[in-house]
Structure 1
Amino acid sequence: MRRIMAHFGVRHTLCSLLHATWDTKGGGPLYSGDWTMHAACRYPAITALSGVGVLTIFTGAAYAGSATFATTNIQYLHGTRYADFDPEGGFSEDDEAGIITVEHFNTWKYGDNFFFVDITNPFGKGDGFGTTAETSAAYYAELSPRLSLGNIFAGHELSAGIVKDILFTATLEIPESPVEQTLLYGLAVDLKLPGLQFFQFNWYIRDSQDSAIDSGQQITLVWGAPFKLGPVPMVFEGFFDYAWGEDPLEDNIISAPRVLVDVGALTELGENKLQVGVEYQIWRNKFGIDGMDEDVPQVMVKWIW
């Protein structure tokens, strides 16, 4: 799961791969049928239309009166150091890709909902993972509802000290076919910490519906903190995921802190409308592949409404 609440939404791209085989004789990847791609990312494929459809449902619910708050944003990210396989059988860090992300977040009486869809190489130009050729657009999405245990059973948030609330949390990771979907479920604690607008601690069971992969666990931290650098309004936000126990996949860590300038607040657009900055993605054992590490700065533009 890669969740950042409200307009602090983040991109998430964790579909754990079981293994990848490189054709050393042919000098290229064994792709399509031979490129064995397993994941803890479970059900049928997502398409652009299905992603827009789910987003429409969320947005419709917000304006139908069931949501107490709703926000949507669209992002563009670009990086040139994504990790991949190389023809020698090792790893490289020179893939280039552009990513468009559409996110929606809303709250209601008993919890909140978050949805996003990533479109990698949306214009059909960019390096594809596991192949030396440029590839067409690829899709990935997540749906993340949470339920406040306090509001459901006690009529108010379970707040005490730095604890803001305790929630049941779930996420459905939705990659393209033939990669299967992953269902995550567990508990979340929202904390009230000085200097932060929000901070989440989420613990999940990763329910592997692929019989070749053990069910594992995941911890996800999410934070957001507005601040000023002199007169310039800025935002520091990000997430940290640690997933383990999904044998034969390796334990893996992914984090994506970002610093954004609220450009809208400096113009007539107004605050929290247009943000520009850098996201730095850190991934250890990418897709659960032993030794595939990634450190990639990404230029980012985010339009919020």
Structure 2
Amino acid sequence: MTKLALALLAAAALPLAAADWSDTYLGYRYGTQFREPGIDGTVEKNILQLTHASGWAYGSNFFNVDMLMSAPNDPAANGTTGAHEVYAVYRGSLSMGKIHKKDFSFGPVRDVSVTAGFDFNSKDNTFASRKRLLVLGPTLNFKVPAGFFDLGLWASHEQNYNGIVGQAVDFKTTWMVAAAWGIPFQMGPVGAEFKGYANYIGAKGKDGFGVDTKPETLANLSVLVDVTPIFGGKGKVYAGAGFEYWNNKFGGANHDGPAPLTNKRVTAPMAQLQIHF
């Protein structure tokens, strides 16, 4: 899986130099209401991100890497500091309309794409997750007045590691509905954007404890305002509010019992800042 994912990334890198458009930014998110399985109460997190999106002659690329830094109540394996996690996502899409030079539009859909990609993560807590996820499937690109709205139906296969029992886990291939959007709009004289993603992932068999997983829902939404005029420019610095919703996190059933059985639904507001360049 690692070799295949690296091959996908290498193939995606080929058209980057000839991108028709691109957007790269550094981001920061902060919230105090995150949750982690097995931990009572909420967790404060500081999150740094690097994001790149671009389009080329036959499709598009998206890459994001988050560095998530938890408060000490989500401890690292050493037990003295908060855990650190790195989470990377890549999605590459090929436009059927551009490749075949035909009109694939119908109804509200402007084009149909084929999307492939991966998620990689590593966290230095006792669980020591090492997520390796591959996705592949069709994506519908919808007509919107400005920006984009995409909806994919993909096959999804995950491998991971459970450090508590010292066991690698190879989950069953399942299906995934994935939406992503970025819709610019005006707030009076100020430019703004409603952006985010939402994933619904089917049950993927048994986890590292031998427990049946449940379908999980993850959504991350944000409304960001262009604050560049404060610095004498336009369209470079955005600030605003975000919200994360996560039901049955990691496929584990929601459970309101005390630790280590705790796995409560995540409803976490966030403050956000993005600097585009």
TM-score by structure 2 length?
A: 0.78
Matched with 1:288 is 251
Matched with 1:147 is 94
Q: Residue 175 of structure 1: CA displacement?
A: 1.3
Task: Measure the CA separation in 2 of the matches of 1:43 and 1:180.
Answer: 11
| 1:96 and 2:36 matched | no
Output the amino acid matched with 2:134: L
Matched with 2:26 is 74
Give yes or no for contact 2:76–2:82 (8 Å, CA) kept in 1: no
Out of 209, 212, 228, the position equivalent to 1:264 is 228
Counterpart secondary structure, 2:135: strand
Matched with 2:163 is none
Alignment of 1:144-183 (within 5 A): 144-152=91-99, 154-176=100-122, 179-183=130-134
Task: Measure the CA separation in 1 of the matches of 2:93 and 2:29.
Answer: 27
Give yes or no for contact 1:84–1:129 (8 Å, CA) kept in 2: no
Output the amino acid matched with 1:202: G
Per-residue CA deviation, residues 14-69 of structure 1 (Å, 9 max, x unaligned), is xxxxxxxxxxxxxxxxxxxxxxxxxxxx649x9xxx9xxx79x85x853x3x2111
| 1:115 and 2:63 matched | yes
Give yes or no for contact 1:84–1:130 (8 Å, CA) kept in 2: no
Task: Measure the CA separation in 1 of the matches of 2:75 and 2:248.
Answer: 15
Q: 1:265 to 1:220 in 2, by over 3 A?
A: farther
Identical aligned pairs, as a percentage?
Answer: 24
Q: Which has the higher strand share?
A: 2
Per-residue CA deviation, residues 255-298 of structure 1 (Å, 9 max, x unaligned), is 11111111014541212x10001110011011111103100011
Per-residue CA deviation, residues 68-107 of structure 1 (Å, 9 max, x unaligned), is 1111011001111111245xxxx53411110101011111
Give yes or no for contact 1:190–1:199 (8 Å, CA) kept in 2: yes
Counterpart secondary structure, 2:36: strand
Runs of 5+ unmatched residues, structure 2: 123-127, 161-168, 207-212, 255-262
Runs of 5+ unmatched residues, structure 1: 1-41
TM-score by structure 1 length?
A: 0.72
Give yes or no for contact 2:239–2:274 (8 Å, CA) kept in 1: yes
Select the structure with the greater relative contact order (CA < 8 A; seq sep ≥ 6): 1
Counterpart secondary structure, 2:86: strand
Counterpart secondary structure, 1:257: strand
Task: Measure the CA separation in 2 of the matches of 1:215 and 1:135.
Answer: 33
RMSD of Structure 2 on Structure 1 (CA): 2.8
The alignment covers a number of residue pairs equal to: 244
Q: Residue 226 of structure 1: CA displacement?
A: 1.7
| 1:231 and 2:203 matched | no
Task: Measure the CA separation in 1 of the matches of 2:110 and 2:73.
Answer: 43
Q: Residue 120 of structure 1: CA displacement?
A: 1.2
Give yes or no for contact 1:102–1:116 (8 Å, CA) kept in 2: yes
Give yes or no for contact 2:173–2:204 (8 Å, CA) kept in 1: yes
Give yes or no for contact 2:76–2:84 (8 Å, CA) kept in 1: no
Counterpart secondary structure, 2:116: strand
Matched with 1:203 is 153
Q: Residue 179 of structure 1: CA displacement?
A: 1.5
Output the amino acid matched with 2:55: T
